[in-house]
Structure 1
């Protein structure tokens, strides 16, 4: 059974393992720990196993910004990213919600489009030759 909740520090190792599976290292351990400690990390569970997570903040022009959504590769295309986004929209401390993804990340663009986000601009020069697309949704 799928459940969503704010992550606890006891979840940290499992969250970092998912992140490491995607990026190949534990370089975001401190970032994930701080987000978890601050109540800015949401996890999706299925049968008591963490399947994915979402991290947000409110430092983007005083608006909510989803900075990271990660779902285990074996569990993708099963609605976990959508569930995480929907949960976050319901608890978002601001009416305006932003996020972003690289132009090369077609799957994430599909997730944003399917969840009612619209493109709100581009940022060049973050990843060479792969602009960042900014997405927006109002609560």
Structure 2
């Protein structure tokens, strides 16, 4: 008997996704401000979600508030579903809809999992910001593509 790979779908987030988005977010579990922030991202229309066999498994927030450039502000994958390619799929989707333009993201220096994910998706480190989180600099990444203006 062969096992079928789970079906992964990326789509724009809908208002009805809010409870599931809050439930899958590891920060929202202990910080109620994140639940409010998720609602704001959803209302702004800058959020895409990943469904794995019909279950919401992750989300990405992308906007153009970073010096007018496309920027992935948040990428979150439900802890029990990490390792199924959801983060990679969300990044691939981001690079495909941003083709021909610059795309940036960032992560804390302590978040080595996200650093590996960004590198595997073709992002290169291009800067650092100190002072946002004390003792944990923010590393800036840019998607490495030859067709950037």
Q: If the length of structure 1 is used for normalisation, what is the TM-score? A: 0.91
Deviation at 1:114, TM superposition (A): 0.2
Q: Indicate yes or no: 2:11 matched with 1:5.
A: yes
Deviation at 1:46, TM superposition (A): 1.3
Deviation at 1:25, TM superposition (A): 2.7
* Long gaps (5+) in structure 1: none
Matches within 5 A, 1:60-99: 60-92=66-98, 95-99=101-105
Q: Indicate yes or no: 2:121 matched with 1:121.
A: no
Q: Which runs of 4+ in 1 moved over 4 A?
A: none
Deviation at 1:36, TM superposition (A): 1.8
CA distance in 1, matches of 2:79, 2:10: 18
Secondary structure of 1:84's aligned partner: helix
Match of 1:52 in 2: 58
Contact 2:27 2:34 in 1 (8 A): no
Deviation per CA, 1:18-47, whole angstroms, max 9, x where unpaired? 12x345233122322232223211101012
Secondary structure of 2:32's aligned partner: coil
Deviation per CA, 1:1-22, whole angstroms, max 9, x where unpaired? 1111010001111101112x34
CA distance in 1, matches of 2:20, 2:130: 33
Specify whether residues 39 and 94 from structure 1 end up closer, same or farther in structure 2 by C-alpha distance, changes over 3 A only: farther
Contact 2:61 2:74 in 1 (8 A): yes
Secondary structure of 1:135's aligned partner: strand
Deviation at 1:129, TM superposition (A): 0.9
CA distance in 2, matches of 1:4, 1:13: 18
